[in-house]
Chains A and B, each alone.
Chain A
Amino acid sequence: MTATQPTTGPGTETADQAAVAAAPSGARAGGDLRETLYFALRNPKVLVGGVVVLGFLVLGLVGPSFLRYAPMDYAGPPMAPPSADFPLGTTTFGQDVFAQFVAGLRSTFLVGVLGGAVAAVIGMTIGFVAGYRGGLIDELLNMLTNVVLVIPGFVVLVILNAYLGVRSVPMQALYIGVFSWPWVARAVRSQTLSLRSRDFIDLARLSGVGVGTILRREVAPNMYSYLFMTFVLLFGGSILTAASLDFIGLGPTNAMSLGLMMNQAVQWSALHLGLWWWFVPPGLGITLIVGSLYIMNVGLDEVFNPKLRET
């Protein structure tokens, strides 16, 4: 039941309580990899979600090398419906929609992984430090978290992209990551707070190791499962944000993306011409990828937290 409304993370509050409540029972939840895998592979939600996401990933990775046309090539007759030659038809300019879709998948996964990773690293660092150190540092970091939390990130992204001209997928992912970490920081902070006063942390401190080591070796392993699920949510959130930006026309100019496909479809009035094969696949792809991620996360929750498993 951890953080279920991930695009913004309003589940934060819940997540805090739930994960903290779950922490004692699953103290070594992420530790035993074999046990985790055993339950993960027997959980239908994890299996179905994982297969869908992996399927799209493989399609995006190996697909382009099997295609005859590049995404922007004028490959065939304009406005052709799906056929054997063009599995998803062609655009008003005769571009192969399937080639665009496959290329778009690559950007989608790239933006998800990079954006998610940037947000996860920032959020976890701030959360760990604020929760463990406490005091003035905590106050300051907490203030920073709250300020970034309230600023509508999408709006700042629009300004940033419009002015600074974000023209590559990694740059876009970086900007998205920089504005989507606050709820992670909050959740991680509150969990760190609850772990800080445990005996084993005191022991580690007595043995004289540094703060970084304690956080890395003692605090973080106790929430590996939670951190992993957080990353999955950030992954999905980045994909959705990037799609919106691309759709407004603020996406990368040197790559194809699923949001950009929808932008072009609307711009060249595919709706009025009834070219459904142009605008349905990109949105469906995003929905299936992100939806599978969410469902996978529910399953992972059951894997990591034995209390939630159906008997």
Chain B
Amino acid sequence: MRGYLARKTLVYGLTFVVAVTLNWLIPRLMPGDPVQRMVARAAVQHPETIASMAAYYERTFGLDLPIWQQYLNYWAALFRGDLGTSVWLFPTPVSQVVLEAVPYTLGIMIPAIVLSFVVGNTVGAMAARSRWLDNVALPVGYLVTAMPYMWLAILLAWGLGVALGWFPVAGGYDFGLVPQWSWTFVADLLHHWVLPFLSLFLVSLGGWAIGMRNLIIYELESDYSNYLSALGAPRRLVRRYAFRNAMLPQITGLALQLGTVLGGALVTEIVFGYPGLGKLVLSAIQNQDFFLLQGTLLFVVIGVLVANFVIDIVYVLVDPRTRTGLTGATA
């Protein structure tokens, strides 16, 4: 088990370094100059003012140092939790802007992931070897998986939001309300939460169901299943063993799926104008606020790594082979 976790930690550490380096490097490959852009935005004509403004910004963002020192400074700042200053919401620190948006994204992502995983696996397990369910669930599952996240979100917003008027289609809460812990506000918050959650949940559902169905069929053909059936074990018992074995690849799949679901959450939020990280990414792109964009995405990368690690620990708990040092999961 120690070897397994050590190996995983090494991979995540390395991934973190690569991600941070990419995050630092890509902006510096960009044509154009953010400092020039910000100075231009101030729309001053006086050359001396422009020069001093440019110098100020360069110092603020540390662009006047040699490149290796910029890189080290980037790391140092990162460990202090300092992700720079937002240009769009100058002078709010990026970390503060991001932290305000994170609860909304987690609020739709975590329930959507957990529920779609549970429901999808259950439906998939039932569908396996049941001709009727299989014929219905399989094609529907494939079509749902093939849906672009934002399209389902658009359809829900249009159908349940605009046409039927059941749910609001913009914002995280009513613009007339002030965020506070009151019943009206929490109810309104939940009301706005339903559609983004639902669209993310539905798109994720199909993949789990199909995966589980295929895995169960595969497990039911394996030697241990045949042996159990040959001993005369009841069908339900065999299926229960198959289900437990099929869960392992599904948990690994959950870790791999995180990045995709996250991308889905970002575009879903954009459709609904939900005030999470997705909307932040969009505003950052539209306002050319690269510090905000980078900070947001770095935060996302860290989130994915942490979630991966949590899933690995769960895996150790459910798969005894990793504990005894046998090759359970590939690193």
- Which residues of A are at the interface with B, using a C-beta cutoff of 8 A? 1, 4-5, 7-14, 17-18, 142-143, 146-147, 149-156, 158-160, 162-165, 183, 186, 190, 236, 240-241, 243-244, 247-250, 259, 262, 265-266, 271-272, 274, 276, 279-280, 282-284, 286-291, 293-295, 298
Contact = CB atoms under 8 A, between A and B. Distances in A.
Task: Name the prevailing secondary structure of the B interface residues.
Answer: helix
A14 B330 contact: no
B96 to A, nearest CB: 21
Contacts of A162: 284-285, 290, 293
Interface of B: 11-12, 14-15, 18-19, 22-23, 26-27, 29-31, 138-139, 142-143, 145-152, 154-155, 157-158, 161-163, 169, 207-208, 210-211, 214-215, 217-218, 248-250, 252-254, 256-260, 262-264, 266-267, 270-271, 281-282, 284-286, 290, 293-294, 297, 300-301, 304-305, 308, 330-331
20 contacts: A4-B207, A5-B253, A8-B260, A143-B14, A146-B15, A147-B11, A151-B304, A152-B300, A155-B259, A155-B262, A159-B26, A159-B297, A240-B148, A243-B151, A247-B270, A249-B282, A283-B154, A287-B147, A287-B151, A295-B139
A162 B29 CA distance: 12
Given A150-B15, A243-B148, A283-B148, A155 B207 contact: no
Contacts of A272: 162
A248 B256 contact: no
Given A147-B14, A271-B158, A14 B218 contact: yes
A151 B21 CA distance: 12
Nearest to A182: B256
Task: Name the prevailing secondary structure of the A interface residues.
Answer: helix
B26 A5 contact: no
Q: Give me the 4 closest cross-chain CB pairs, A-B, nearest first.
A: A10-B253, A283-B151, A154-B263, A152-B259
A186 B27 contact: no
A158 B11 contact: no
A243 B300 CA distance: 20
B193 to A, nearest CB: 19
Contact of A11 (B18, B152, B211, B270): B211
A274 B267 contact: no
Given A143-B14, A287-B143, A153 B30 contact: no
B147 A283 contact: yes
B267 A11 contact: no
Given A5-B211, A159-B293, A276-B158, 14 more contacts: A5-B145, A5-B253, A10-B254, A11-B249, A150-B12, A150-B15, A153-B259, A155-B259, A158-B281, A158-B293, A159-B23, A248-B270, A250-B285, A287-B143
Contact of A14 (B23, B147, B214, B300): B214
Given A10-B256, A155-B297, A150 B305 contact: yes
Nearest to A273: B162
Contacts of B214: 1, 4, 11, 14
Contact of A151 (B19, B162, B218, B257): B19
A244 B262 CA distance: 12
Nearest to B281: A158
Contacts of A142: 331
A98 B113 CA distance: 36
B266 A7 contact: no
Nearest to A284: B151
Contact of A143 (B11, B210, B267, B285): B11
Nearest to A48: B139
Given A10-B253, A10-B254, A249 B297 contact: no
B154 A262 contact: yes
A8 B256 contact: yes
B151 A14 contact: no
A280 B159 CA distance: 11
B267 to A, nearest CB: 5
A249 B294 CA distance: 17
A1 B218 CA distance: 8
A164 B12 CA distance: 27
B158 A279 contact: yes
Contacts of A163: 26-27, 29-30, 290
A156 B256 contact: no
